[in-house]
Chain A
Amino acid sequence: MESRGRVIKLGDNIDTDLIIAARYLSTADPKELAVHFMEDLDPEISNRVKEGDIVVAGRNFGCGSSREHAPIAIKGAGISCVIAESFARIFYRNSFNIGLPIIESPEASRDISDGDDISVNYETGEIINMTTGRVYSGEAYPPFIRKIIESGGLVGYVKAGGAE
């Protein structure tokens, strides 16, 4: 499995209120949430985002509330993957629970620029910057998490009796 796309670069401590403001939380519909994706940071951003784009951010991405609406809005906006130096823990859980691929890579987070064309290989954790030719390594998922992903997320895991 692989993603390839254009980079949208963001900073440190991007919180869930910025990703999707609380005033829009009376729905969990991905398309509706996507319209307001990152609105308080940049009201134009949802027009800029193209299907398949990859977010590259700094430290502690997704800090703040437990709203699953945050990864849902990111996915709904067409973002194919989020790379960050580090993720806040609830966001980390939620992302693969709902099937948004995320990868931790401090090197990639530091080196990649806005607008670069990059590809991510989820099996190896390898990230390639097509624009500069540089290659970075990202952290592969631990086996337990891979088991959940292989079951199709937490819903599939429970359905398959995973918690028995």
Chain B
Amino acid sequence: MGMTMTQKIMAAHAGRDSVAAGDFIEADLDMVLGNDITAPPAIAEFERMGSREVFHKDRIALVPDHFAPNKDIRAAQQCRIMREFAHSQGITNYFEIGEMGIEHALLPEKGIVVAGDAVIGADSHTCTYGALGAFSTGVGSTDMAAGMSTGKAWFKVPSAISIVLKGKPQKWVTGKDIILHIIGMIGVDGARYRSMEYSGEGVRHLTMDDRFTISNMAIEAGAKNGIFPVDGITESYMEGRAKREWKTYSPDDDAEYDQVIELDLSKVRPTVSFPHSPDNTHSIDDVPRINIDQVVIGSCTNGRLDDMRMAARILKGRRVAKGVRTIIFPATQDIYLQSVREGLIEIFIEAGAIVSTPTCGPCLGGHMGILAEGERAVSTTNRNFIGRMGHHTSEVYLASPAVAAASAVAGYIENPENLEVI
């Protein structure tokens, strides 16, 4: 029986000719990731395991991004545990502020993960690297500890949903609208325990940044991973960045899928997820007037260069509505610097937005933009759960950078098509 793309990568990393859905395997890992929230408990478990040394000092990435720059004394203590561990173990991929970024934007940018890899990260959005044609998935701290110690992880081989994309997206439709649309169709557990495997001629209309956004939110559909085929766009992204050789896998022609979804990208409309679940989606055409207090543009979902450029196209020569606090946080130092060079930051500041250093900050209600009781935000992040960005009565509406920027200008959730680009 044929294998899916994910199954092929898994088989190769388990040293087997083939695997089938439901098999339990132990796979060799190319990279193990943790952050300032999940690594400290993992380090404690690593020590409890009696481990002294990590399996490979170049194959572990530690990124202080959630509560960094240290938001308070306790966060500072957590970051220090990770920093000291990184130094004592000689871990090469430790990124202090000044060189860091949000982990899922940073690792691909630095060429630390590449096509064909098997990666675990103690962070649920580790599935982002599927955009590169890697198998990557989120785990907990104890799994991370075992991964750091042995270089291996156990997996149950997933079955898959095939998502065949055709057509070209409309002008203001981005990867974010596409993934919100899909989650709206299948629900937050629609792909539970499964892979989401993308294919079809529509893929070539998606930039690398679109694909990162789509893979990033596989977990919001409950999936184990969301993976794209490797094409010229992927290769030109990896060229000059990749720290290791990449390997391209494709699904077998007779691979079996639990479900096949065909999606015509030209029909997808700008899409907004209403509180308090990512699958509570509405086409922009059906959104009534909803006044907002805050707009957040950034995160591991939408803090990349495409996203900054799109926000700038809308904010250029405009002002954000009075009373709408607009927070923009580029995901990495490189994206930040490039945004400075292209004049995007100037556009943001002139529009009355603030621009923050890379951090997870507001995305998880950590710092840098917490919502008060009953406040509403439009955010380009990935979760709108109760209390995600602050008080448990506050509300988060998930959208693309275009919708978020248009909403910042209008003061309510707005369709970017209604604003002429100046």
Which residues of A are in contact with B by a Cβ distance under 8 Å? 13, 15, 17-18, 21-23, 25-28, 39-41, 59-60, 63-69, 86, 88-90, 93-94, 97-98, 142, 144, 148, 153-155, 157-159, 163
Contacts and interface: CB of A to CB of B under 8 A. Distances in A.
Given A40-B392, A88-B222, A17 B387 contact: yes
25 contacts: A22-B364, A22-B388, A23-B365, A27-B74, A60-B189, A60-B192, A65-B123, A65-B364, A66-B124, A68-B122, A68-B140, A69-B41, A86-B192, A88-B192, A89-B192, A89-B224, A93-B139, A94-B142, A97-B140, A154-B45, A154-B142, A154-B143, A155-B49, A155-B145, A163-B152
Residue of B40, B138, B193, B387 ringed by the most chain A CB atoms within 10 A = B387
Contact of A158 (B24, B41, B126, B150): B150
Given A13-B188, A22-B37, A93-B143, 18 more contacts: A13-B189, A17-B364, A17-B388, A18-B387, A21-B365, A21-B387, A22-B66, A22-B366, A23-B366, A25-B67, A66-B122, A66-B138, A68-B122, A68-B140, A86-B192, A90-B140, A155-B45, A158-B146
B382 to A, nearest CB: 10
A33 to B, nearest CB: 11
Interface in B44-60: 44-45, 48-51
Closest 6 CB pairs of A and B: A94-B140, A26-B74, A40-B387, A40-B392, A60-B189, A144-B24
B420 interface: no
Contact of A155 (B74, B124, B142): B142
A93 to B, nearest CB: 6
A90 B127 CA distance: 12
Interface residues on B, range: 35 or more
A88 B218 CA distance: 13
A34 to B, nearest CB: 15
Given A27-B74, A158-B146, A13 B277 contact: yes
Contacts of A66: 38, 121-124, 126, 138-140
B26 interface: yes
B143 A163 contact: no
